[in-house]
Structure 1
Amino acid sequence: MIDIFIVAGICLVLTALWLLIREAKKPKSEPVAKLPEPENRQVPNLIEGTFGATGEAFFYSLVRELAQSLNIDAVLLASCEDDHQEIYRTLAYWCNGSYIMNQTISLLNSPCEDTGGLCYLETSASELYPDSSLLDRHSPVAGFFAIKLLNSLGKPVGLIAGLHQSALRLGKNELDTIKLLSARAAAELERKLAVSDALTEKERAQITLHSIGDGVITTNNVGCIDYMNPVAETLTGWRFHQAMGMSLEAVFHLEDEKTGKVIPDPALRCLSEKRVVSPKSDNVLISRTGDRYSIQGTAGPMMNTRGDCIGAVLVFRDVTDLHRLQKKMAHQATHDPLTGLVNRSEFEQRLEKSLQSAKAFENTHALLYLDLDQFKMVNDAAGHLAGDELLKQICSLLANQLRGRDTLGRLGGDEFCVLLENCPLGKANKVAEVLIDIIREYRFLWENKAYQVGVSIGIVPITADSTSTAELMLHADQACYSAKDLGRGRAHIYDQKDASLAQQNGQVLQVSDLRDAIINHQFQLLYQPIISLDADQSRVQMRAEVLLRMIDQSGNYILPGAFLPAADRFGLTAQIDRWVIDKVFNDYAHLFMQNSNLVLNLNLSAQSVADEALSYFITQMFDKSVVSPHQICFEVNEAILNNNLPGISQLTEQLRDIGCGFVLKNFGSGLSSFSFLKNLKFDFIKIDGNIVSDIADDRVDHGMVESINSMAHLLGIKTIAECADGDSVIQSLKLLGVDYAQGDLLAKPVSMDDLGGEKLSEREFSGIPAD
């Protein structure tokens, strides 16, 4: 639009000049002005000398013609270089018969410093303005004129000035001519600056597009490529000069990562729909050389000022590493780290889908519950490494006998489950017999010794009459116990008698068992120090996690994995959490009094987080106890965030306000961890042990821990590494700047009762010695 005004202005000025020339050439019977005109003024020649020139040629001809026609020593045309209109740079400068190039001049203290229009001094210019650097260039200067060049918005963009060492007499005709020529010069200068700005913007845009980390491809309005930056060249395998003019679809080949189907050209789609198009995030770019890149990107139409679509721009980035990391994190969240099978959580989700399928379509599926026989004997005789290797080989044997749509999962220890989809009970029993025979015939070799194990299997049909996944798992477990009771190495289909048999033998925890344990205080609290990795021992804080164990009738510890799933199923975990809180506040208050630097981490279950009365209960405990809120930190599992974000948000806000701390544990085991950190206030994150344990040997795990630690510190959150066992793991954590570490090799869990009345030793909680 500005160009239109500039061109129109130039046309008007040229028209006025042409009329002036015509009038100047007409014979006159009397003078044009009353004042006597100076001699040797050649106004028509001046106008004709500049009439045909444009751009910089016009500037050069203008200063020369003005100087020669008006008989002036020096004439210059300059553009404004600063916002204060004080500094100018010459574009054309004629002085004493030759051009002078690229001079910088200042209008400070000059005759035209504050003048908006034409400034004209016939004589004594240097005497009147002795401090002017502009006049000092030709000192002494007697005659002087200057006129500022204004753009279409009325802002000064340049200047024309004439300097003469003797008096300078200009008549009205010459001054009007200078004004007209300055108007044309202003239009030419504005056009030059606009073109220069456009070229500068174009150059800046090209530099930017060449420098950014995203790939950029632009097309014309029919989808043919007219630009590619270097990143786009690398990812597509095409050089720009090769792809120029080709259709985007021929160069930018997209496929659906899951189905392998070709994705339509996003540029053509955005051109036809005239809107921004974002391809799905699970797309794969196939390069010219066959390399595959997971990409994210958008395609948008390019519109001109008239609203016409003149092409499309595609911006995309390589997210292959991110996708690989996300897949690994997703796999770790749903799979057993030792065997690679789906874990209990993922298996139960798939079981739930099968149950819903049975109810909706009256399909019949089957659930097998497997418990290895004689595994403990092998584990004790040959060691844990042998036991782990045996489990891996058993899993491989089992998987080879199952169909692709069946699911094999590890529940923990030597217990497994198999989900047989669309499988009637009779066929499921045959599958179980095959699995039993395969394992019975297998010989496990370890250090020149052969070991034999067996398997007992419980079978439960999944039908429309099945109540819940919890009931199915319970019945399958009870059927498995019946198979063992009948002589091991066999399969048994669930019967209602199995429940009473299992209960009679104490094999399955019932709700009454857990309630009795709570009432009769059949729990034991342990503490495990959380070790500071800070080399500055003066800042060490004694911090420990409180761990819970259940005590059986023989006085042996039962690990949480054996009773908490049942407690969760029966809705008792919140009650157990309150028992732990009450125990710590009342029975171990003396530890806090004797050790003001002690902080204990207490675990909260999903049911506790959902309990709106928990915050009030904890606040009341603080009011009645000598324990300070700053000495208590609550740990919540990352998995809880996905199911009860509002609950955990409210709880953390209420308890942090009174001084309690919060730890997000098992961080990195899920996909959405990072998205919660900005919105929820945690003091610590405990990095999942599955990632930490292999940090010294696995580059991906090392990168995950590094990124988690960096992100946490960026948000002001301290980090704790779980399962930090081994010198190489500890050294890697120290180098990454992780704040704390926790692991059995660092400090095993110890009974809090063993502490007695003694003051805790800070040495137990001190940092790892520096190398």
Structure 2
Amino acid sequence: MAGSAAPSSRQHRLKTAALVSGLIVLVLVAAGFTVSVVQIQSAITAYVGGESIWSRAHLTAGIHLDAYAATGEEAELDAGHQWLRIPLGDMAARQAMEARELDREAARAGLLQGDNHPDDIAGMIWLFRYFGGLAPFERAIQAWRDTDPYLTELRDISLALAEERRSASPDRMRLLALRDRLSQVNDQLSVYAHRFRSAMGEAARWATQVLSIASIVFLALLAVLAWLLANRLTFLLRSSDQKFRAIFEQTAVGILQVGADGRMLDANQAAAEILGRPVDSLRSHRLEDLIHPEDRLLSESSRRDLLTGHTASYTVEQRLQKTGGDLLWARLTVSRMQEGQQGPGYFVVMLEDISESRRMAMKLSYQATHDELTGLLNRREFEHRLAAMLGQTRAEGGQHALCFIDLDQFKVVNDTSGHGAGDELLRQVSRLAADSVRERDVLARLGGDEFGLILEDCDLETASGIAEKLRAALEDIVFTWEGKSHSIGASIGVVPVSAQAPDISGLLRAVDIACYMAKEGGRNRVYLSAEDDQQLHRQQGEMAWLNRIQTALLENRFHLDAQLIVPSSGARPGLRYEVLIRLTGEEGQPIPPSAFLPAAERFGIINKLDRWVVTEVLSTLARHPDHLTQLEACHINLSGRSFDQPDFTGFVVAQIEQSRVPAHKLCFEITETAAAQNLSDVQDFMQRLAGLGCTFALDDFGTGVSSFSYLSLLSVDFLKIDGSFVRHIGDRPTDRAIVRAIHEIGHTLGMQTIAEFVETEAVRANLERLGVNYLQGFGLHRPRPLTDLLQEPPDTTALRVGVIPG
């Protein structure tokens, strides 16, 4: 018996040793399994938290870059670059982790740059390297990978904005295009962020399911040895629970456990901080009670799908109520958890505070549709609403009205009191205009001192009354800035918006012309245009000249005539003439200047003609050095619209220097009206060109309302007396007195005078008796091609001067 006991004892010890060995192995496996679970869950949580930081970073970068594009503040650019470093760091980390040979230091540096917690980085790298190839995680990684070109483009946009903003003359249209693309890139990044978040949520649920299955198998094995492992298993389960509880409590993402009845079972500290409520208080609330009443139905259909098993989770953005009634925007990702096949189950809600990103998105949306200075709608949004209204009118009928408002004398405020005064005046005008129209009407600033107004459900008669009320209110404004008072008015064009309107481009052209008609009629008035307005149709016909003039420039069908300017004393110190632009039609017929110059002036293409004239005159004179020796001065007319171009003065200077024509051989003629309307720009032009030696003539003098007041402000060498006073000088004592007064004032100021429209001997004799220095007109010399004048010998030209036909 004793002998049999010994083997039994040994066998027992062997079994015990085997069980102990098995226990040790199982403990090791359990420990390894538990650590793996913790690492996986921790790493998934870290990636979810990292995505929140990533989303906030690219949105904030977009806000700062858009602000830099609008203001040029370098601090905004620096802030944008600082925020952009976060998603770029994450991108660099992922690329390092995807490499065949893991560059751990580069991956760690990138994740740190991405503002991930240092303690999470090792787990994030481990999860990526060992589980990234699994389908659930691969989908999330692919969404992450798809953001690379957009992040690169976001960085390139920031560099393009910096380059454009730091240039001497930033291109406003390019800045607008870059801002628009910036918004599009940020929107696309948000889409991929949503995909990443959804995919990572699926991966988390997949991991939970896989780990649950593994746990079941593992527990089945433990059940065989339960009588040996009961105490140990209890300890392990308690330890595991504590670790999971630590993760639950310490994660930066809010987590709620919600029962099937909607009552919250548990909440972590992050959720309590987001909602501004103690954890114990949350456990006594229903989740529905925290959702803003207007948002409760947003997720109703998704919740039904989740309960019926048609979907595993859903994400919704809703307003939640904090303690005290404050609201926050939150993103809720809701997943259903089942406690056994027959259990009631519960819901896990991942909670993110997106109030700041929502506010930034709304700010970007507002900036994209509103004028920064006045707060009114901008041109883009105005045209969008006009198109919508036109589409509605075509579909449903009705009548509306479109108004175009152009402030009168606004440029005077800018020139005399500065752009700060102009900006403040525009703000005051915007507030007044908004108060003067109906609440449902659409008011926008279209650019500069131009405003657009859509009057909804309004016939022309009612629109006329509203426009007149607005005009009168603007006329009553007395704007004071630094002791100077300014009065303004407004020219307003009104056209109907009906189903017969062609498109918004046609409407905008029509209302622009109607505003022009108001200005032509004396300014500070309302011009009402019906659909059968013949005068408006004639103005639209003028617009056809735009293409004709552009084509003529391309086909080189312009040429120059010249008309001599004769000294009244008969002395001939040198040759002086004025160059005149002429146009040859498509079929070779001559076209008078009166046919195309008004259209060119009206629609802003006159500056191209001025540049063509300057270039052509200088290149022609440069090719005829012999002619230059006998030339006293060549007079070149300039339009006031050319001075609206900031580079025009530099262009003229460059042409003179390039041609090497002596600057004192050039006299630039500027009309009195153009000088008055562009006083500051004309003064700058004269000062710079006078430094080269050029002279200047004030053309059509005497027709302006403040003629003599401008003389002391301009460095003018010649006064060209308007022909309307010269033509009847022999018959009208008043005209003769005006000519005498202009001549005497000019001489007093050291200027010489030139009389235009000298057509008869009697007019010439009267002008010579008054002492006018130079004469010009058909009675002295009819305009001829400049090339003919260049080829005539000096003596031949002299013989043609001063010959009055009988």
Q: TM-score under structure 1 normalisation?
A: 0.44
More strand by proportion, 1 or 2?
Answer: 1
Q: TM-score under structure 2 normalisation?
A: 0.42
Q: Pick the structure with greater CA Rg.
A: 1
More helix by proportion, 1 or 2?
Answer: 2
